[in-house]
Structure 1
Amino acid sequence: MGHQNAHDTDGTSSGFTSADPVAEQALDWFVRLRNSEPDAATHAAFQAWLAEDPRHDAEFRSLETLWNSRSFSDAVKTLPVDRRALLRPKTRRWPLHAAALAASVLIAVGVWQYPALTIAIQADFETATGRQTTVRLPDGSMMMLNTDTAVATDFEGGRRHIRLLRGEAFFDVVHDPARPFTVSGHYGEVQVLGTAFSVRTGDDEDQVVLERGRVQVLCLCDGKGMGKAELVPGEAVSITASAVSPVRATDPSATLAWREGRIIFENASLGAVLEELRRYHRGPIVVADERVNRLVVTGNYRLDNVEGALRTLADAAGVGFYRIPGGIIILR
Structure 2
Amino acid sequence: MAGVADDERADQQQPAHDDRVVDEALDWFARLRNATPDRETRADFDAWLARSPRHAEEFRALEAIWGSAAFGKAVAGLGTPTRPTRTVAAPRRRPRWAGGLAAAAVLLVALGLWQYPAIMLRWQADYLTAVGQRSTITLPDGSTMMLDTTSAAAIDFEDGRRNVRLLGGQAFFDVQSDPARPFRVTGRFGAVEVTGTAFSVRSDAGQDRAVLERGRVEVSRLSGGTERVALEPGQMAVATAAALSTAMPVDATEALAWREGRVIFDDQPLASVLDELRRYHGGPVIVANAELGRVHVTGNYRLDDIEGAIRTLADAAGASMTRLPGGIIILR
CA distance in structure 2 between the aligned counterparts of 1:314 and 1:107, rounded to whole angstroms: 33
Query: How many angstroms does 1:325 deviate by?
Result: 1.2
Given candidates 53, 69, 80, the residue that maps to 1:96 is: 53
Is 1:249 the counterpart of 2:206? The answer is: no
Query: How many angstroms does 1:112 deviate by?
Result: 2.3
Q: Paired residue for 1:331?
A: 331
Tell me, yes or no, if the aligned pair for 1:199 and 1:208 is still in contact at 8 Å.
yes
C-alpha distance after superposition, 1:240-297 (max 9, x if no partner) = 0121112210111110000000000000000000000010001011111111110100
Q: Which has the higher contact order (CA 8 A, sep 6+)?
A: 1
Query: How many angstroms does 1:83 deviate by?
Result: 5.5
Tell me, yes or no, if the aligned pair for 2:17 and 2:96 is still in contact at 8 Å.
no
1:77-96 paired onto structure 2 within 5 Å: 82=17, 95-96=52-53
Q: Paired residue for 1:49?
A: none
Given candidates 208, 226, 237, the residue that maps to 1:206 is: 208
Q: Paired residue for 2:165?
A: 163
CA distance in structure 2 between the aligned counterparts of 1:152 and 1:186, rounded to whole angstroms: 13
Tell me, yes or no, if the aligned pair for 1:221 and 1:227 is still in contact at 8 Å.
no
Q: Paired residue for 1:190?
A: 192
C-alpha distance after superposition, 1:64-89 (max 9, x if no partner) = xxxxxxxxxxxxxxxx983589xxxx
TM-score after normalising by structure 2: 0.69
Given candidates 108, 111, 115, the residue that maps to 2:101 is: 111
TM-score after normalising by structure 1: 0.69
Is 1:227 the counterpart of 2:184? The answer is: no
SS at match of 2:253: helix
SS at match of 1:245: coil
C-alpha distance after superposition, 1:158-179 (max 9, x if no partner) = 0000000111000000000000
Query: How many angstroms does 1:98 deviate by?
Result: 7.7
CA distance in structure 2 between the aligned counterparts of 1:311 and 1:139, rounded to whole angstroms: 43
Is 1:292 the counterpart of 2:292? The answer is: yes
Query: How many angstroms does 1:221 deviate by?
Result: 1.7
Tell me, yes or no, if the aligned pair for 2:220 and 2:228 is still in contact at 8 Å.
yes
Tell me, yes or no, if the aligned pair for 1:163 and 1:183 is still in contact at 8 Å.
yes
C-alpha distance after superposition, 1:208-255 (max 9, x if no partner) = 0000000000101233xx832110000011100121112210111110
Query: How many angstroms does 1:315 deviate by?
Result: 1.2
For these two proteins, the number of residue pairs brought into alignment is: 244
Is 1:181 the counterpart of 2:183? The answer is: yes
In angstroms, what is the RMSD of aligned CA positions? 2.4
Tell me, yes or no, if the aligned pair for 1:235 and 1:249 is still in contact at 8 Å.
yes
Query: How many angstroms does 1:326 deviate by?
Result: 1.4
Query: Could you tell me which amino acid in structure 2 is paired with residue 108 of structure 1?
Result: A
Tell me, yes or no, if the aligned pair for 1:176 and 1:194 is still in contact at 8 Å.
yes
1:46-65 paired onto structure 2 within 5 Å: none
SS at match of 1:167: strand
Query: Could you tell me which amino acid in structure 2 is paired with residue 221 of structure 1?
Result: S
Tell me, yes or no, if the aligned pair for 1:84 and 1:326 is still in contact at 8 Å.
no
Tell me, yes or no, if the aligned pair for 1:227 and 1:243 is still in contact at 8 Å.
no
Tell me, yes or no, if the aligned pair for 1:152 and 1:163 is still in contact at 8 Å.
yes
Tell me, yes or no, if the aligned pair for 2:136 and 2:145 is still in contact at 8 Å.
yes
C-alpha distance after superposition, 1:133-161 (max 9, x if no partner) = 00111111111000001100011000000
Is 1:319 the counterpart of 2:254? The answer is: no
Tell me, yes or no, if the aligned pair for 1:283 and 1:328 is still in contact at 8 Å.
yes
SS at match of 2:57: helix
Given candidates 213, 217, 220, the residue that maps to 1:218 is: 220
Query: Could you tell me which amino acid in structure 2 is paired with residue 254 of structure 1?
Result: E
Gaps of 5+ in 2: 1-14, 21-50, 63-94, 106-116
1:319–1:106 CA distance, 2 compared to 1 (3 A):
closer
CA distance in structure 1 between the aligned counterparts of 2:57 and 2:248, rounded to whole angstroms: 54
1:33-48 paired onto structure 2 within 5 Å: none
Tell me, yes or no, if the aligned pair for 1:221 and 1:243 is still in contact at 8 Å.
no
Query: Could you tell me which amino acid in structure 2 is paired with residue 230 of structure 1?
Result: A
CA distance in structure 2 between the aligned counterparts of 1:324 and 1:107, rounded to whole angstroms: 22
